[in-house]
Amino acid sequence: MRETLEKIRKEAMEALASPSAELEELRIRYLGKKGELTAVLRGMGKLSAEERPVIGQMANEVRAEIEKKIDELASAAKGKAMEAKLAAEKLDVTVPGEPIRAGHFHPLALVQRQLEDIFLGMGYSIVDGPEVEYDYYNFQALNIPPDHPARDTQDTFYITDNILLRSQTSPVQARVMEKTQPPIKIISPGRVYRSDAVDATHSPLFHQLEGLVIDRGITMGDLKGALDMFAKRMFGEKTEIRFRPHHFPFTEPSAEVDVSCFVCGGKGCRLCKGEGWIEILGAGMVHPNVLRNCGIDPEVYSGFAFGLGIERIALLKYHIDDMRLLYENDIRFLNQF
């Protein structure tokens, strides 16, 4: 058996010394379960008690020597392969680089930034709030109790009976009024959610910007002056605004606000559907109940609030006739902006 082990050692070393040696094939041939060395070890049961440890030690030495040689050759082959790969991937740093195509803002982002700039210039601060909101802040604090019919027009996505995806950015106003004593002058842009079917003018996800001013002696005239300045800066100096009586649970009195058509100047065209006016937002004086709910005395302070859809402004500003275009990420459409 000694001679057999020596023969295996010699043959293995000679085979491994060959430039064309297949390492894995040789590993299996000599060290595998059906390999030559394993076959020798299986015959050790026939040896005497004195010979068994001697042959076993020799077999282990042969195995260790073959394994070491295979590992050395494998490591060397791996190193050569890496060197060849690095040589093949060598970069010519003198070759001019490919130009990186610069992106640009999405039309919704462009409109939101313009709106923010307008109101920042009028002294407003920007405040953000959570999109996952409590029912209390989204409805109850805003004078919309659980049984109020206004909830039907703001059907949103509920996570639990008490937690939902906000249907408006008005909860930010309630949170600010709870924590901040007047004077307050803020806008709150952001995403909102309602359970609406997708069509040319509706989406279950859209964007709003709401404004809030609370101080002593705030009147409807202050609201009209603020919105008049906003309209002129957004749509042009010749733009006029018009208030129409309306009802919102969180404002009293309330109004729908129209702007004179900035395409035809009020004469009537396709954009304004021949009316000369375009509805853009809702507004009104903050309801006394809302002030009380948020810890502000309506006998001392008053205020106004307004809210507009950023998508609606974008559709009007860029003459887009289908809101779905804003969300489809079609480069052919977005490149126009």
Decide if 292 contacts 299 (C-beta within 8 A): no
Q: Give the pair of three-digit tokens for residue 311.
A: 């998508």
Q: How many CA atoms lie within 13 A of 330 on its CB side?
A: 8
Q: Give the pair of three-digit tokens for residue 50.
A: 């004195």
Q: How many CA atoms lie within 13 A of 149 on its CB side?
A: 2
Per-residue pLDDT of the chain (337 residues; tens, 9 = 90+): 667 777 777 777 777 777 666 877 777 776 777 777 677 766 666 667 677 777 777 777 777 877 787 788 788 888 888 888 877 877 777 888 888 888 889 999 999 999 999 999 999 999 999 999 999 999 999 988 877 776 666 678 899 989 999 999 999 999 999 999 999 999 999 999 998 888 888 889 999 999 999 999 999 999 999 999 999 999 989 899 999 999 888 999 999 999 998 878 778 887 788 888 989 999 999 999 999 999 999 999 999 999 999 999 998 888 888 889 999 989 889 888 8
With vertex at residue 330, the alpha carbon angle to CA 324 and CA 334, rounded to the nearest 5 degrees, is 90
Nearest CA to 250 out of 123, 110, 141 is that of 141
Separation of CA 213 from chain center: 31
Decide if 117 contacts 229 (C-beta within 8 A): no
Dist CA 8 CA 38 (whole Å): 11
The pLDDT assigned to 81 comes to 82
Domains of the chain: 2-88 (no CATH), 107-334 (3.30.930.10)
Instruction: Give all strands of the β-sheet with 302-309 in edge-to-edge order.
Output: 125-126, 184-193, 205-215, 302-309, 277-286, 251-260, 241-248
Separation of CA 291 from chain center: 34
Q: What does 43-78 look like in DSSP terms, one character per residue?
A: GGGGS-TTHHHHHHHHHHHHHHHHHHHHHHHHHHHH
Other C-beta atoms closer than 10 Å to the C-beta of 172 total 23
Q: What does 100-162 look like in DSSP terms, one character per residue?
A: PPP----HHHHHHHHHHHHHHHTT-EE----SEEEHHHHTGGGT--TT-GGGGGG---BSSSS
The pLDDT assigned to 25 comes to 79
Decide if 241 contacts 134 (C-beta within 8 A): no
The pLDDT assigned to 154 comes to 65
pTM: 0.68
Single-letter amino acid code for the residue at 141: A
